Amino acid sequence: MSSSEGETERDAQVPLFARPEWADVVPIPQDDGPNPVVPIAYKDDFRETMDYFRAVFKANELSHRSLALTSLAITLNSGNYTIWQFRRRILEAIDSDMHFELEFTEQIAKTNSKNYQLWHHRRWVAEKLGPEATEGELKFTRKIFCTDAKNYHAWSHRQWVLQNLGGWKGELDYCQKLLDEDIFNNSAWNQRYFVVTKSPLLGGLIAMRDSEVAYAVESIKSFPENESPWRYLRGLYKDDIVSWVNDPRVASVCLDVLEAKKNCVFALTTLLDLLCLGYNPSQELIDAVSGMGLPDTNPTRPDCGLAELICSILGQEDPMRTNYWTWRKSQLT
Partner 1 sequence: MGEFAADRHVKYILSVEKRKDDFESVVMEHLRLNGAYWGLTTLDLLGKLDAVDADEVISWIMQCQHESGGFGGNIGHDPHILYTLSAVQVLALFDKLNVLDVNKVASYISSLQNEDGSFSGDMWGEVDTRFSYIAICCISILQRLDSINVERAVNYIVSCKNVDGGFGCTPGGESHAGQIFCCVGALAITGSLHHVDKDLLGWWLCERQVKSGGLNGRPEKLPDVCYSWWVLSSLTMIDRVDWIDGQKLVKFILECQDTENGGISDRPDDAVDIYHTYFGVAGLSLLEFPGVKAIDPAYALPVDVVNRIFFGR
- What's the CA gap between 108 and 222, in Å, rounded? 39
**To the nearest whole angstrom, how small is the minimum distance from the Cβ of residue 114 to partner 1?**
12
- Binding to partner 1 by residue 242, rule CB under 8 A? no
Terminal Cα distance for the chain, rounded: 72
Known catalytic membership, residue 114: yes
- The active-site residue, picked from 114, 128, 169, 238, is 114
3-state SS string for the chain: CCCCCCCCHHHHHCCHHHCHHHCCCCCCCCCCCCCCCCCCCCCHHHHHHHHHHHHHHHCCCCCHHHHHHHHHHHHHCCCCHHHHHHHHHHHHHCCCCHHHHHHHHHHHHCCCCCCHHHHHHHHHHHHHHHHHHHHHHHHHHHHHHHHCCCCHHHHHHHHHHHHHCCCHHHHHHHHHHHHHHCCCCHHHHHHHHHHHHHCCCCCCHHHHHHHHHHHHHHHHHHCCCCHHHHHHHHHCCCCCHHHHHHCHHHHHHHHHHHHCCCCCHHHHHHHHHHHHCCCCCCHHHHHHHHHHCCCCCCCCCHHHHHHHHHHHHHHHHCHHHHHHHHHHHHCCC
Region of 40-48, 171-179, 206-214, 294-302 interacting with partner 1 (CB under 8 A): 40-48
**To the nearest whole angstrom, how small is the minimum distance from the Cβ of residue 115 to partner 1?**
11
CB nearer to partner 1: pick between 123 and 299: 123
- Binding to partner 1 by residue 110, rule CB under 8 A? no
**To the nearest whole angstrom, how small is the minimum distance from the Cβ of residue 270 to partner 1?**
12
Closest C-alpha to 268, from 285, 244, 247: 285
**To the nearest whole angstrom, how small is the minimum distance from the Cβ of residue 157 to partner 1?**
10
For residue 179, the Cα-to-chain-centroid distance in whole angstroms is 14
**To the nearest whole angstrom, how small is the minimum distance from the Cβ of residue 40 to partner 1?**
5
Question: From residue 145 to residue 164, what is the string marking binding to partner 1 with x (rule CB under 8 A)?
Answer: -----x-x--xx--xx--x-
CB nearer to partner 1: pick between 273 and 299: 273
Q: Which of 13, 24, 320, 333 binds partner 1 (CB under 8 A)?
A: 320
CB nearer to partner 1: pick between 22 and 46: 46
CB nearer to partner 1: pick between 36 and 170: 36
Region of 14-22, 42-50, 128-136, 281-289 interacting with partner 1 (CB under 8 A): 42-50
- Binding to partner 1 by residue 33, rule CB under 8 A? yes
Q: How many residues does the chain have?
A: 333
Segment 129 to 148, residues that bind partner 1, using CB under 8 A: none
Question: From residue 220 to residue 239, what is the string marking binding to partner 1 with x (rule CB under 8 A)?
Answer: ------xxx--x--xx--x-
Q: Which residues are catalytic?
A: 114
Which residues would be at the binding site for partner 1 (CB under 8 A)?
30-43, 46, 50, 54, 57-58, 77, 79-82, 85, 88, 116, 120, 123-124, 150, 152, 155-156, 159-160, 163, 184-187, 190-191, 193-194, 197-198, 226-228, 231, 234-235, 238, 320-324, 327
